[in-house]
A and B are shown apart, each in its own frame.
Chain A
Amino acid sequence: MTGSMAGPQSDSCSLLVSKQYSPGMTEDPDFDSFPMAVKGNAFQDFSRGQEMPHHWGRTLTEGDNAIFSTVTCNWNPMHLNAEFAKGHGHRDVVLNPMLVLCTVVGLSVEDLSEIGGPFLGMEDVVFHRPVYPRDTITAASTVVETRESDSRPNVGIVTWHTEAHNQNGELVVEYERTNLVAKHRGER
């Protein structure tokens, strides 16, 4: 009995150690030599007046809104009770403007701030009109100002003006945003 069990086990072991069949014997490539598919822009890539339409766009859904509003403790019935919103003249729930704002910033990150660093602040955020479920938002930014940091030679400070429009070309939100931006990739 013991012998009959040992037979097939030794056979599979011998298969595993043979060169043809063992994944362990295949040499992995030198992963460090793979060129990085780099994303983002560094400080030198920005100049005043530069216009940057951002990628992707986003159709915002009732699900996005319900998740975002509940997770951020914003249980306002204007965002979560369609009948309440209709009672105020809206055709559906009004998407939480903070969701719209976060999404517009999100769409702009690769172009503006993915290299880092820190998000310093925003000015003059204006919510121009309500956004409803299934509206599609696209975003674009213009460089307002670039300047050196007095205290940190490796970073600069960039301010952008960003606008987002809905599928009808109507302005839904605009703002100015300022970040520290690394002068070279890999420096935060």
Chain B
Amino acid sequence: MGALSALTGDGNYFEDFEVGQRMRHFRAATVDEVENNFITKLVMNTAQGHWNEEAMRGSPLGDGRLVFGLVTGSMTVGLASQDTAENALSEMGLDKVRFKKPVHHGDTITAYSEVLAADDSPEHDDAGIVRFKHWGRNQHGDVVCELERIVLVKRRSHWADR
């Protein structure tokens, strides 16, 4: 184990991911003022339905501030990140991102993942490309968002001793 590899886990190198593998991530998180109200403004999302309690009163999407879909998506990715990207070289992209139900302050997101593909990288000997499907579910068990995510993950053979 080297100075870099000592900082990250040993169970999530490219060699560890198998197509069809599923994970329920250990930590869930509640969306509240800091997660939605603050982050939505931090990223300059000007749609006030995300941060003006009065704007959404009586909305068919539900009363109260509607959580910005990408906050939900970012939390789903974040909750999955240790298990899926702790040994990543880079995040390559996302695909088929869907926001399926409204999320409000006080809702709790749990993340689930499945490995859709694990392939060699034509450009990197020391890493492979893993395509994950992620789901974010609320406390009622409803899927609120789903997405695919493509990550360039280090190979243990090249990185475990560095």
Given contacts A73-B79, A98-B78, A101-B70, contact A68 B42 (CB under 8 A): yes
Name the contact of A109 in the complex, choosing from B4, B47, B93 (C-beta under 8 A).
B47
Once the chains are docked, how many angstroms separate the CA of A81 from the CA of B3? 13
Name the contact of B38 in the complex, choosing from A71, A77, A127 (C-beta under 8 A).
A71
Give the residues in chain B near A77, CB-CB below 8 Å: 7-8, 86
Once the chains are docked, how many angstroms separate the CA of A67 from the CA of B78? 13
Once the chains are docked, how many angstroms separate the CA of A127 from the CA of B149? 11
**Residue A31 is within 8 A (CB to CB) of chain B in the complex:** no
In the complex, per-residue mask of B147-162: 1 if CB is within 8 Å of any chain A CB, else 0: 0000000000000001
Give the residues in chain A near B69, CB-CB below 8 Å: 118-119
The dominant DSSP class at the B interface is mixed
Once the chains are docked, how many angstroms separate the CA of A77 from the CA of B6? 12
Q: Which residue of B lies closest to A104 (CB)?
A: B43
Give the residues in chain B near A68, CB-CB below 8 Å: 39, 42-43, 74
- A123 and B95 contact, CB distance less than 8 A: yes
Once the chains are docked, how many angstroms separate the CA of A120 from the CA of B98? 6
**Residue B117 is within 8 A (CB to CB) of chain A in the complex:** no
**Residue A93 is within 8 A (CB to CB) of chain B in the complex:** no
Give the residues in chain B near A101, CB-CB below 8 Å: 70, 94
**Residue A99 is within 8 A (CB to CB) of chain B in the complex:** yes
Q: Number of A interface residues at 8 Å Cβ cutoff, please give it.
A: 48
In chain A, positions 24-41 with a C-beta closer than 8 Å to chain B are 39
Q: Which residue of A lies closest to B162 (CB)?
A: A87
In the complex, per-residue mask of A110-135: 1 if CB is within 8 Å of any chain B CB, else 0: 10011011111111111100100000
- A119 and B99 contact, CB distance less than 8 A: yes
**Residue A158 is within 8 A (CB to CB) of chain B in the complex:** no
**Residue B88 is within 8 A (CB to CB) of chain A in the complex:** yes
Name the contact of B74 in the complex, choosing from A87, A88, A102, A126 (C-beta under 8 A).
A102
- A56 and B44 contact, CB distance less than 8 A: yes
Once the chains are docked, how many angstroms separate the CA of A38 from the CA of B88? 44
- Sample 15 A-B pairs with CB under 8 A, ordered by A number: A64-B42, A68-B43, A68-B74, A72-B35, A72-B71, A88-B89, A101-B70, A102-B45, A102-B71, A105-B45, A106-B46, A117-B61, A121-B97, A123-B96, A125-B94
**13 additional A-B residue pairs with CB within 8 Å, beyond A75-B82, A106-B44:** A71-B38, A72-B39, A72-B77, A73-B29, A77-B8, A88-B4, A102-B45, A106-B43, A107-B44, A120-B99, A123-B96, A125-B95, A127-B93
Interface residues of B (CB under 8 A from A): 3-4, 7-8, 27, 29, 34-35, 38-40, 42-47, 49, 59-61, 68-71, 73-75, 77-79, 81-82, 85-86, 88-99, 102, 162
